[in-house]
Chains A and B, each alone.
Chain A
């Protein structure tokens, strides 16, 4: 049974994972079937397993590459059967580019929504997450972060509360960062925040749900759209959260979630001309340095965060105005005053 508690198993190589039919995995599967066969009840209902897909442009899609990686379930979790093995799309460079296009196309529409409307949609997201809290909790438990029921439940509650927090921030931050500029002359001058555009987010591996919510929501609360690479250790919970997004009146393309390897996809996003900012939460300092380097090609706003920053996401310090402000652009307008 030990193999069934493994959280994530990366398929060995591209060519192999594209078919998935290696000798090693056959052997493993046979062993598992033998062990499980003893408990078979021929009269029992057979559960319907979900295909996990990436969320791009408002649709759930497979990787164009056809590649996948595998996450392993834990058998019985929360009273429901869980598949032994789940195939998750392993996103490619092309998937990343498609996601940027979807984010770009959604940009103007999302940015021109009223702040009030953006807040309502994020609040709707919180409602949907609340209604699916058991499912989210179960997903975290089987995601294998060593979460026991109470910890997983706490993470889900924190994530929902964070959604409410940012829902309420959508029409507040402007007043906090805008300014009336007392310029010395007969001019009316003021500055207001605007969204930057398409932001690439490399979500932290842990906490799988709260980390994702904490990094994505402030970006879209500020009117940006994003391409987010989910942590690969519990990609299923990320996809499940996208199902919440998809039923929250959030326009397609505002959040685009890729599953797979950040190291593979993120540098392409950092090089992409239509991506204006990168927010990378990764313990891999080589990767974050690479993103900073590649981002210089079009003067991207690249923010990178190490383990100590990620650890704060689960605390009160994991939310705030600063999370929104760092992906806002200040626009200053002058006009003469006179008759």
Chain B
């Protein structure tokens, strides 16, 4: 087996290339983020009607730090009665205040939230990493700045909505029930809350049960921003709480981000109810690398595409489609690159890959990786030492993956990449689109015309050309096919929270 490297040199005997030996040059001293200024209340209540209340159920559940398996706090479990209280509070707030307020004044409240998020950014980033396991450099440099930017962006729309729809009259929808995933807990809350509030809706927000803490801190910010009581309500709980919220007859609009499986259930449950629905569901994105791509840049894009946030990303580039002639080169470079990823303590500022969000998710990743091995694909895992405690998984990719393999079809939602090959652009398109999902895709090539040719043909809501995993509040995000419907961000995202008359 031979492989040409970028200089045209041929390596012999590439079946197992010699491992790179960096000696001690790649060892970093621990660089932990200080957490002594962050206090997490041991018991977290529900935020309903502008007040912090104990759940009617009287029940609390634990939220743990997935990097240490230690309990961080106990969190109120909202049952149907709590959800009903929250929906009623949101309805009252809609009728009394929010629907009657001028857009310019709504805007100022939303601007306040954006500012407070910036002021409290570090605290929120730390709690996000503690509760969810993501590396502090991601929560600090991606999640928090983007969350603030989403509120800032949408605040400005609140008094300009008459321009947004080409002169068509619009109205707000009423009470929005929003169900948030655990992979970007605060950022996804921002994606949903900001446009809903700007467009004049009131909200009942349900964060994921494994990552409720930052949504509750956001509720504190909303309280301190003195929004009218009930405009935003936060109810914590698991699937039953979410189902109660989506199914509540007082909810006019449901927005859900999560798995395609649950999304379908919600869509089915809402049939015949006249509720508006937007869904942002799973993905199995193709990241397509042509032979003429700048390979080293592409490698960075591939790494970012799949290992960002431990691969807990609905738009993760989890299927790498490589033009056959550069397959061996790309694989060798990928092996070298994953060996340099630092896996471990999410609060260490040098960590690249943090903790898997939960035990359940770790089990799912292990199951799918085992399936990949049993289906005959060749596994390549980073030779890193994983912490003894906590939920961790070494960055991994598979070569020799069949299109029919589970690891090529199912969303793993973990740091696991499947590498497939193609020979022609048509084949690349065919394979990239051969999925029920259609959230995102990547294209790597030096030829501009080829980028656009691919972008036109890929059935995906977001296409990244020579880049990956870029997000912005001004940029509409959302899926084709079974990755959901509706957009978040941009002018297009406003349609999810308005009705055009």
Contacts and interface: CB of A to CB of B under 8 A. Distances in A.
A333 B461 contact: no
Interface string B478-498: 101111110100111000000
Given A179-B491, A191-B475, A299-B482, A332 B272 contact: no
B474 A299 contact: no
A181 B476 contact: yes
B492 A334 contact: no
B264 interface: yes
B238 interface: no
B149 A184 contact: yes
A105 to B, nearest CB: 16
Range, interface on chain A: 35 or more
Contacts of B304: none
A181 B474 contact: yes
Interface in A291-339: 292-293, 295-299, 301, 320-322, 329-336
B76 to A, nearest CB: 31
A293 B272 contact: yes
B267 A295 contact: yes
Contacts of B263: 299
B260 interface: yes
Given A183-B475, A184-B149, A330-B476, A335 B267 contact: no
Given A191-B476, A285-B272, A335-B467, A299 B281 contact: yes
B171 interface: no
A177 interface: yes
Contact of B271 (A181, A183, A293): A293
Interface string A171-204: 0000011010111110101010000100000000
A31 interface: no
B436 interface: yes
Contacts of A159: none
Given A299-B260, A329-B461, A331-B461, A191 B492 contact: yes
A299 B436 CA distance: 10
Interface string A279-291: 0000001001110
A329 B148 CA distance: 27
A196 B263 CA distance: 19
Contacts of A179: 476, 490-492
Contacts of A333: 455, 462-465
A208 interface: no
A238 interface: no
Given A293-B271, A299-B267, A181 B436 contact: no
Max chain B Cβ within 10 angstroms of own Cβ: one of A187, A196, A301, A320: A187
B271 A189 contact: no
Contacts of A298: 436, 481-482
A20 to B, nearest CB: 37
A276 interface: yes
A299 B481 CA distance: 7
A5 B146 CA distance: 67
A35 to B, nearest CB: 47
Interface in B385-426: none
Contacts of A295: 267, 271
B102 interface: no
A182 B465 contact: no
B469 to A, nearest CB: 10
Given A322-B168, A331-B463, A299 B484 contact: yes
Contacts of A182: 474
B247 to A, nearest CB: 14
Contact of B461 (A187, A285, A289, A332): A332
A185 B464 CA distance: 14
Contact of B472 (A184, A296, A297, A336): A184
A330 B461 contact: yes
B10 interface: no
B118 interface: no
B166 A321 contact: yes
A296 B272 CA distance: 12
A246 B451 CA distance: 37
A191 B279 CA distance: 19
Nearest to A293: B271
Contacts of B271: 289-290, 292-293, 295-296
A330 B478 CA distance: 8
Nearest to B484: A299
B151 interface: no
A334 B272 contact: no
A124 to B, nearest CB: 26
Max chain B Cβ within 10 angstroms of own Cβ: one of A332, A334, A336: A332
B208 interface: no
Interface in B230-282: 260, 263-265, 267-268, 270-272, 279, 281
A181 B491 CA distance: 9
A293 B491 CA distance: 29
B264 A335 contact: no
Given A321-B168, A333-B463, A276 B481 contact: yes
B162 to A, nearest CB: 15
B365 interface: no
A296 B461 contact: no
A214 to B, nearest CB: 17
Contacts of B466: 335-336
B494 to A, nearest CB: 11
Max chain A Cβ within 10 angstroms of own Cβ: one of B264, B265, B279, B451: B264
B37 interface: no
A175 to B, nearest CB: 10
Given A299-B281, A334-B467, A191 B272 contact: no
A331 B460 CA distance: 7
B447 interface: no
B370 interface: no
Contacts of B168: 320-322
Contacts of B455: 331, 333
A297 B481 CA distance: 11
A319 to B, nearest CB: 12
B461 A334 contact: no
A33 B425 CA distance: 67
Contacts of A293: 268, 271-272
A298 B267 CA distance: 10
A59 to B, nearest CB: 29
Interface in A89-141: none
B477 interface: yes
Contacts of B476: 179, 181, 191, 330, 332
Nearest to A112: B456
Nearest to A184: B472
A292 B500 CA distance: 21
B7 interface: no
B470 interface: yes
Interface of A: 176-177, 179, 181-185, 187, 189, 191, 196, 276, 285, 288-290, 292-293, 295-299, 301, 320-322, 329-336
Given A290-B271, A299-B484, A334-B470, 16 more contacts: A179-B490, A181-B474, A183-B470, A183-B475, A298-B482, A299-B264, A329-B480, A330-B461, A331-B480, A332-B461, A332-B462, A333-B462, A334-B463, A334-B475, A335-B465, A336-B465
Interface of B: 149, 166, 168, 260, 263-265, 267-268, 270-272, 279, 281, 436, 451, 455, 460-467, 470, 472, 474-478, 480-485, 487, 490-492, 500
17 contacts: A179-B492, A183-B470, A189-B472, A191-B490, A276-B481, A289-B272, A293-B271, A299-B260, A299-B263, A301-B485, A331-B455, A332-B463, A333-B464, A334-B462, A334-B463, A335-B466, A336-B465
